[in-house]
A = this chain, B = another copy of it.
Amino acid sequence: MPEDRPFRHDVPDIHGLPEDVRDRILAVQEKAGFVPNVFLLLARRPAEFRAFVAYHDALMEKREGLTAAEREMIVVAVSAAHSCQYCVVAHGAILRVRAKDPRIADLVATNYRKAGLPPRQRAMLDHAIKVATASHLLGEEDHAALQAAGFTEDEAWDIAAIAAFFSMSNRLANATDLRPNAEFHTLGRR
């Protein structure tokens, strides 16, 4: 039933892209088996593509502190708060894979407060959602709550920065009518 256009702009020809942009896209394709639509969308503007990918990798590929699955949980919760279809479906798939849990993405996307998460992850997502939806109200009490849940200042920065980065990403996707690739819906469901 859903129409098949991946976003509201023309899809660029991969072979006409700058080499570094093309290489990154081909690398993702090789690994995932398909090209996530967000890469084709951003490739329209190579400078923005590079900055987006560099920022994303700095926050999401880091392996100290938060686990890979925790980082994806933040993305899914924040993207759901912004009703970002692409981000919930695509990162929901990645979360299932990273957490090796076929149900976690649906639970976090629909209501992370009812996802049976341990207190540490509940505190992490409470903070991420406040950053995403009411950052002007953040105060010392929020940092104290993170510390009480066992997070360092550096991890607190990661939580806030991931929530902030995807607050941007969600808006870009919503403004360009970005739709999730069909592959994401089934990935990691076993």
Which residues in A have some Cβ–Cβ distance to B below 8 Å? Answer: 1-5, 8-9, 44-45, 47-48, 50-52, 54-55, 57-59, 80, 82-85, 88-89, 92, 99, 101-104, 106-107, 109-111, 113-118, 131-132, 135-139, 143, 153, 157, 160-161, 163-165, 167-172, 174-177, 179-180, 182, 185-186, 189-190
Residue of B nearest to A9 (CB): B153
Cross-chain contact B83 with A117 (CB below 8 angstroms): no
Asked, given contacts A136-B84, A143-B8, A175-B164, whether A48 binds B59 with beta carbons under 8 Å apart, the answer is yes
Q: Is the beta-carbon distance between B85 and A110 smaller than 8 angstroms?
A: yes
Supposing A51-B51, A54-B47, A111-B84 touch, asked if A161 and B167 sit within 8 A by C-beta, the answer is no
Q: Which residues of B contact A104 (CB under 8 A)?
A: 1-2
Least CB separation from A52: chain B residue:
B55
Contacts of A163 in B (CB 8 A): 171
Supply 20 further A-B pairs (C-beta < 8 A) apart from A45-B58, A157-B175, A189-B189.
A1-B104, A1-B116, A2-B107, A2-B115, A2-B117, A9-B157, A45-B157, A48-B161, A50-B54, A51-B51, A51-B58, A89-B110, A113-B137, A114-B177, A131-B175, A135-B171, A160-B175, A164-B168, A164-B172, A186-B189
**Residues in B whose Cβ lies below 8 Å from that of A48:** 55, 58-59, 161
Contacts of A168 in B (CB 8 A): 164-165, 167-168
- The 8 Å CB contact of A179, one of B2, B114, B179, is B114
6 contacts between A and B (CB under 8 A): A44-B157, A45-B157, A83-B110, A103-B182, A136-B174, A160-B171
Q: Whole-angstrom distance between the alpha carbons of A101 and B172 in the complex?
A: 27
Q: How far is the CA of A83 from the CA of B80 in the complex (A)?
A: 10
Which residues on B sit within 8 Å (CB–CB) of A45?
A: 58, 157
